[in-house]
Amino acid sequence: MSSIAPVKCALALTLLIVSAPGVAAIQRHAPVHDSVRLNIGLNCRWEQKCIAAQQRAMKSALAYVRKYNPPQSRIHLCNRNASRSRSRIDWSGFNNCIRNSSLRTTRRR
């Protein structure tokens, strides 16, 4: 029995060392604690070209909103238009919507 214990320890240590790079790779591709990157990744099904396009659109849309300060009603309209589900936004759609000058928001009475 005592000769099996070192083998078990060596095997456990080997599995730990081998699995560490795999865990780092998973964390790099699936950011659980960064909600924006998680949202983009889920929308794009983790395809790198799509993620890059979404990130460019996000930066562009945020810069536009920061610079031109559109009304809140327009931002809400574009959020509704670009949403894929309740909590997931398609940034390319939002960027196109927020820059569309022909959109008119209706006023509530």
pTM summary value? 0.64
Domain boundaries, the chain: 47-109
d(CA 59, CA 63): 6
pLDDT at 23: 47
Give the residue ranges of the chain where pLDDT is below 70: 1-3, 5-31, 84-87, 106-109
Other beta carbons within 10 Å of 88:
13
- Cβ atoms of 54 and 89 within 8 Å: the answer is no
Q: Could you give the CA distance from residue 108 to residue 4 in angstroms, rounded to a whole number?
A: 76
d(CA 24, CA 26): 5
SS3 state of residue 89: strand
CA 53, CA 57: separation in Å to the nearest integer? 6
pLDDT of the residue at 68: 95
